């Protein structure tokens, strides 16, 4: 018999809005060998379940990742106790809230301060199930560059040069970590419309031991005086600038992309509703290599499945995943 669980969350802005998410379990779980969740809000457009379904089909696994559109932490913590649960993708607004409830954190998860991946392992002494947190967003950023810029070219494209991160949210923090730890950035320029968000990124990254390279670029004049970056990670939506702050940010980016002699590689993290953005167009016309945001999504998802299946990336059907995501993007483009 199917079990129906309904969660209701109330939020207030100018008025109170009640959002109800209903997840039907029971018969679905009974038909699976293992199940996981995509846990967060506004999940309808997420390609995560598609990505993982392709992996499981390719491996011949009777597994499924199910959407849990909720921020009800108590509900989630009760649901992951099921013996068939293998792990979860954790998205906003739960990436930070989940951390106090986990038994262990990977180095990346601890240092970034956000968890996007929950995996399960067994304590070798007690035999107890341990619920562990990882951050594979950082791997998505790293692999987007390493998989798309040949290793022989990395030294001339982005290594041992400044890098730039556009934005001030969770994706920006993951980008700062990846650029600092793995991609050999000498310094990291932060560009964002909200100075308070930049200050928060600098404070948090400094407290965690990797904020010493960060520099807030606030004006066009300052941008003109700086050495050009080799790697850029853009972490903002694809909206035309409207406010004065947004227009300043766009002008700074135009300076960095078009007026500097060096042309490197830019990861455009925005891919919904389309990975082909206005900023990406500016970069491409200026001579930059533009890496689509779906690359980061694919590689962070592959890293998740490494945790969940115990296999290496070479054993997972990466080519099938890329083909499925490309086909989905074509469908979305046709709907516009």
pLDDT, averaged per 10 consecutive residues of the chain (336 residues), comes to: 37 34 64 96 91 98 96 95 96 93 96 96 93 97 97 97 95 95 97 96 94 97 98 94 97 98 96 85 97 95 98 97 92 75
Domain boundaries for CATH 3.40.50.10860 within the chain = 4-135
The predicted structure's pLDDT at residue 102: 98
pLDDT of residue 24: 59
pLDDT score recorded for residue 54: 98
Query: For residue 25, what pLDDT is reported?
Result: 64
pLDDT of residue 332: 76
> How far is the C-alpha of 188 from the C-alpha of 175, rounded, in Å?
10
Q: Which helix (H) or strand (E) holds 87?
A: strand 85-90
At 23, give phi and psi (nearest 5°): -120, 120
DSSP state at residue 257:
I
pLDDT for the residue 12: 37
CA dihedral of residues 233, 236, 238, 243 (deg, nearest 10): -130
CB-count exposure of residue 15 (10 Å: 0-12, 13-18, 19+): exposed
Q: 3-class DSSP state for residue 186? A: strand
> Where are the domain boundaries for CATH 3.40.50.720 in the chain?
139-294
Cα–Cα distances in angstroms (integers) from residue 138 to residues 105, 150, 161, 309, in the given order: 14, 19, 19, 20
Nearest to 316 by CA among 330, 331, 304, 334: 304
122: part of which helix (H) or strand (E)? Answer: strand 117-122
CATH 3.40.50.10860 fits 4-135, yes or no: yes
Its sign, for the CA torsion 94, 97, 100, 104, is positive
The topology under which CATH files domain 139-294 is Rossmann fold (3.40.50)
State the pairing for strand pair 117-122/85-90.
antiparallel
Rounded to 5°, angle at Cα 304 from 300 and 306: 115
For residue 9, the model assigns a pLDDT of 41
Rounded to whole angstroms, the Cα distance separating 160 from 280 reads: 23
Q: What global pTM score does this model have?
A: 0.88
Size of the chain in residues: 336
């Amino acid at each position: 018999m199917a079990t129906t669980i309904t969660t209701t969350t109330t939020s207030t802005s100018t008025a109170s809005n009640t959002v109800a998410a209903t997840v039907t379990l029971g018969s679905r779980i009974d038909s699976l060998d293992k199940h996981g969740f995509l846990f967060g809000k506004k999940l309808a457009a997420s390609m995560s379940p598609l990505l993982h379904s392709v992996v499981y089909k390719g491996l011949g696994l009777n597994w499924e990742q199910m959407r849990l559109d909720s921020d009800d932490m108590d509900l989630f913590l009760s649901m992951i106790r099921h013996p068939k649960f293998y792990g979860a993708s954790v998205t906003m607004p739960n990436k930070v809230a989940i951390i106090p409830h986990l038994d262990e954190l990977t180095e990346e998860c601890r240092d970034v301060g956000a968890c996007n991946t929950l995996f399960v392992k067994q304590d070798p002494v007690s035999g107890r199930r341990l619920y562990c947190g990882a951050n594979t967003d950082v791997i998505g950023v790293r692999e987007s560059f390493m998989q798309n810029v040949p290793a022989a070219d990395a030294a001339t494209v982005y290594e041992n040069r400044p890098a730039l991160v556009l934005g001030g949210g969770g994706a920006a923090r993951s980008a700062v970590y990846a650029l600092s730890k793995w991609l050999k950035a000498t310094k990291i320029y932060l560009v964002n419309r909200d100075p308070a968000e930049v200050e928060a990124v600098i404070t948090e990254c400094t407290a965690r031991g990797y904020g010493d390279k960060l520099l807030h670029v606030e004006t066009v004049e300052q941008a003109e005086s700086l050495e050009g970056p080799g790697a850029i990670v853009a972490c903002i939506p694809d909206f035309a600038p409207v406010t004065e702050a947004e227009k300043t940010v766009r002008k700074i980016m135009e300076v960095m992309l078009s007026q500097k002699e060096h042309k490197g590689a830019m990861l455009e993290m925005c891919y919904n509703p389309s990975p082909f953005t206005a900023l990406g167009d500016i970069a491409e016309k200026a001579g930059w290599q533009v890496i689509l945001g779906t690359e980061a999504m694919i590689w962070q998802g592959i890293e998740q499945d490494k945790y969940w299946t115990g296999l290496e990336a070479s054993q997972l059907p990466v080519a099938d995943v890329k083909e499925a995501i490309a086909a989905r993007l074509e469908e979305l483009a046709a709907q516009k």
